[in-house]
Amino acid sequence: MTPTSESPLSRADAAARLLSAKVPRPPSVALILGSGLSGVVESIRPEFETSTAHLLGTASASVAGHSGKVIIGTLFGVRLLVFLGRIHLYEGHPPEEQTLPVLLSARLGAGILLLTNASGGISPDMAPGDLMVISDQINMTGKTVLLPGTSARPGSLDVYDGRLAERLHRAAVATGVRVRRGIYAGGLGPSYETAAEIKMLRRLGADAVGMSTVLEALAGRALGMRVAGISVITNLATGISTGRLSHEEVTAGAAAAGGNLTRMLQEFLRDLPATP
């Protein structure tokens, strides 16, 4: 497919028909990987691969660390629909474009949406290299998303599934990965927050901050999916860190923590088929 003016629902339906014809067995888990986290897919046996832009008629991802690919495959018997990277609001895309992969995942029947991102640590309990299981979120984008086929107001729902969060935490402990739980604040970007903004976010209860995830989580929940999220703490936020932040630092930090994230997700998926 090429970029089009067709509605998100019609594009998601067309992509779902195409994928269903290519790979008859539907995915049960959709996974969206953030900056520099594509190493997670190395252990997945792929059955079909294409670009998200071609499949959904969206713009190509333009940010380093986001390859813009979509893969269907299996790991430990779990059928996965994996998006390597995402497009961002700050690239000029509307919320309906950013959340189109979530809509496609729901149309294919995936019941679980697992979101990952690279983020800056705000809480004093966070250190670079930590993984944070998201317990709740603060939407600082100034945007929301109204999806076709949904009646619920996304912001009125408990977004993150507590049982999935507990399973992720257990998976991290079982694999010896340092893990925390906390609240994720998602902003519009692309600039990093000022020290004053970080101070404000800390007072609001945020433990980590990034530039993605919040709208995808709202969309998934509104579509009836069970949502879980993991933030990879790649750096300390402005005002906590004494250095100057850069996207290169973020992607390098994500790559360094990628092995921990991979082990944690593998353990999470290993027992998923037998667990409600």
| Amino acid 2: pLDDT | 42
pLDDT at 246 over 70: no
- Residue where the block lists tokens 């402990």: 173
Q: Does residue 152 form part of some domain? A: yes
Q: Is residue 121 part of a domain?
A: yes
Rounded to 5 degrees, what angle do the CA atoms 240, 246, 247 make?
120
263 in a domain, yes or no? yes
CATH number reported for the structural domain that contains residue 175 in this entry: 3.40.50.1580
Contacts of 155 (CB under 8 A, 6+ apart): 139, 144, 218
Check: CB of residue 93 under 8 Å from CB of residue 59: yes
pLDDT digits (tens, 9 = 90+) for 13-46: 999 999 999 998 999 999 999 866 777 778 888 8
User: Do 215 and 99 contact (CB within 8 A), yes or no?
Assistant: yes
Whether 3 is covered by a domain: the verdict is no
Give the whole-angstrom CA distance, residue 234 versus residue 248.
Answer: 11
Give the residue, 213 or 86, on which the prediction is more confident: 213
Residue 1 lies in a domain: no
Domain count, the chain: 1
* pLDDT per position as a tens digit, 169-228: 999 999 999 999 999 999 998 888 888 999 999 999 999 999 999 999 999 998 999 999
Helix %, strand %, coil % of the chain (to 5):
35, 25, 35
The answer to the question of residue 2 being in a domain is no
Is the residue at 229 inside a domain?
yes
Domain region containing 28: 8-274
Q: Report the predicted TM-score, pTM, of the whole model to 2 decimal places.
A: 0.89
Per residue in 121-178, pLDDT (tens digit) is: 999 998 888 899 999 999 999 998 877 666 555 555 689 999 999 999 999 999 999 9
Angle at the Cα of 150 from the Cα atoms of 149 and 156, rounded to 5 degrees: 170
Distances (CA, A) of 191 to 43, 90, 99, 212, 237: 34, 9, 21, 13, 12
Closest CA to 58 of 106, 92, 17, 107: 92
Is residue 79 a part of any domain in this protein? yes
